[in-house]
Amino acid sequence: MRQLLDAGAEVLTTARSATSTVPEGAAFVAADVRTRAGAEALAAAAQEVLGGVDILVHNAGGARPYAGSSAIPDEVWQDALDLNYLASVRLDSLLVPAMRERRSGAIVHVSSAAVLTPVGPFLHYTTAKAALENYSRGLALELAPFGIQVNAVAPGRTATPGGEATREQWAEVSARMGAAPAETNAEDTPPLGRDGQPDDIAHAVLFLVSDRASWLTGRNLIVDGGEFPMG
Ligand SMILES: NC(=O)c1ccc[n+]([C@@H]2O[C@H](COP(=O)([O-])OP(=O)(O)OC[C@H]3O[C@@H](n4cnc5c(N)ncnc54)[C@H](OP(=O)(O)O)[C@@H]3O)[C@@H](O)[C@H]2O)c1
């Protein structure tokens, strides 16, 4: 967000509650993107505050781990799909028509490198992100004739409040399941010797929405410090 502001973009951001992480200069509207009503409120605010959307970054996401796939309740599956996949579908459906009319736009869906190694405790999450990646590729092909680029970014382990909390929960769940840390991957440091920082992911997003990526669409850029070399 900060990097988009520094690059001269007008930015509107959202979360369910306003936090100190909204940088100076960005507008904020509270919305729950898991719901159609939340997506509509956000789209309306974007029209009112920005007068339209040229760049759309879907970043909200995450899920807590469970002790194996059978322990994931139905409503948690639905919630994971709503947050990590359908939220993007809903918001895109509201904002893409104006992009098509203008015949320009850039959309980035934030997925996860965890899609490459799906494990039981996170199957609701990685399944939803895998669907997001497939949807993102298909949308890219659909919108390419209109000059709209659609790409995904798949972060590896990144030092954010949500990421840290999830890894702690994973360690707890793994201990309860009797899994060794090596089997959980929760303790590993990526080959580049450090966890990712939010700026590492923001750089990739900024690149994908910049003129330098003008011939890129339908791609999934894995930003993981080398954690998933076969990705
Ligand atoms: N951190 C990692 O290691 C990692 C790794 C791979 C992929 N990712 C992906 O990267 C993205 C960002 O993750 P993060 O680690 O930065 O997460 P985070 O620290 O939990 O932050 C998530 C942000 O999204 C907002 N949000 C959550 N649910 C929302 C909802 N229903 N409606 C609107 N806003 C909502 C949160 O604010 P509120 O709670 O106030 O709504 C918060 O501002 C996610 O898509 C995640 O899956 C992260």
pLDDT value of position 186: 55
Ligand 1 geometric centre to CA of 145 (Å): 31
Structure tokens at 185: 């991957």
pTM greater than the 0.85 cutoff: yes
The correct CATH number of 53-223 out of 3.40.50.720, 3.30.70.270, 3.40.1280.10, 3.40.630.30 is 3.40.50.720
For residue 72, the cross-strand partners are none
* pLDDT for residue 19 is more than 80: no
Helices (H), the chain: 2-6, 36-50, 74-81, 87-102, 123-143, 161-177, 181-184, 198-208
> For ligand 1, what atom is nearest to the CA of residue 19?
40
Rounded to the nearest integer, the mean pLDDT of the chain is 94
Active centre residues (catalytic): 125
pLDDT value of position 187: 60
> For ligand 1, what atom is nearest to the CA of residue 157?
3
Structure tokens at 28: 């904020």
| Tens-digit pLDDT profile for residues 83-94 | 999 999 999 999
Pinpoint the residues of the chain covered by CATH 3.40.50.720: 53-223
Provide φ and ψ at 133, rounded to 5°: -65, -40
* CA 38 to the chain's CA centroid: 17
pLDDT value of position 181: 58
Separation CA 93–CA 96 (nearest Å): 6
Cα torsion 109, 216, 101, 136: sign: negative
Ligand 1 geometric centre to CA of 162 (Å): 6
- What's the residue count for the chain? 231
